[in-house]
Amino acid sequence: MSVESTYNRYAAFYDFIYGSVLQDGRKKLARLISKEPGRHLLEIGVGSGLMLPLYPDHLSITGVDISNQMLAKARKRAGLLRNKTITLHHVDGENGGFPDESFDHVVLPYVYSVTPDPDHLIAESFRVCKSGGNIWILNHFSGFGTVWDYVGLIVKSFPDSVGFRSDFSYEDYVVSKGWQVEEIHKANVLGLSRIIKVRKPLAA
Ligand SMILES: C[S@@+](CC[C@H](N)C(=O)[O-])C[C@H]1O[C@@H](n2cnc3c(N)ncnc32)[C@H](O)[C@@H]1O
């Protein structure tokens, strides 16, 4: 089953399962973004739109998702947020079709370990982010001595069936990339998630 159909199935009960349990991370991420300059933000994997109410009102927000059922929930939520500028698209964030250097912030909340090809998603995030802009990753990672170091051994790690990869190593998916990581913050109960701020270098 594809990631798209998995999340189409999840849509009806996603907020109930993953709403409050992951909300601490969303709130912290929005607070960190609010301290940074730049008006144009892209959220890839906007899901049911749980981040949308948390972003500061001055931002121009573009949200994309591969699942139209999740996006339908986000549209409903966005419709209630009259103070905010929000545009939503049903597209694959690995191939969003936005021009180069379009956004000051590219935000990936709980999607890096979900998307079919994480490296492709990151390459696309760098492409559409302005030089000097930020790529924000909020995700669980194994390698921090948390429960994620063991879950991957027990649960088979398939984003298609479970909805995410459980064995998602910080070493492989962050450290080895050689990015300009500016900040790392713990989030969620027992520090199960990390917020990582990566700076896209200024053009030479
Ligand atoms: C775990 S949910 C996270 C949703 C939301 N960001 C949140 O904080 O609750 C992952 C979402 O990413 C979407 N997704 C996965 N891969 C994607 C891709 N390549 N492009 C766009 N959306 C994607 C899924 O459809 C799903 O809605």
Q: Which two tokens stand for residue 18?
A: 């993953």
- CATH of span 3-199: 3.40.50.150
Per-residue pLDDT for 79 more than 60?
yes
Question: What pLDDT, on the 0 to 100 scale, is given for residue 198?
Answer: 97
Q: Is the CB of 11 under 6 A from ligand 1?
A: no
pLDDT exceeds 60 at position 159: no
DSSP 8-state assignment for residue 145: S
The token pair at 166 is: 């459980």
CA distance 54 to 66: 22
Quote the longest CA-to-CA distance of the chain. Answer: 47
Q: 154 or 74, which is more confident?
A: 74
Q: Residue 170 Cα, ligand 1 centroid: separation in angstroms? A: 19
Report yes or no: 200 and 182 within 8 Å, Cβ to Cβ.
no
Kind and range of the H or E element at 77?
A: helix 68-80
pLDDT of residue 25: 96
pLDDT for 102-124, tens place per residue? 999 999 999 999 999 999 999 99
CB 90 within 8 A of CB 68: yes
Those residues with Cβ within 8 angstroms of residue 140's Cβ, 6 or more apart along the chain or in another chain = 113, 146, 148, 164, 168, 192, 193, 194
Q: Is the CB of 61 under 6 A from ligand 1?
A: no
What's the CA-to-centroid distance between 83 and ligand 1, angstroms?
Answer: 24
Residue 203, pLDDT above cutoff 70: yes
Residues 172-188 have a mean pLDDT of 93
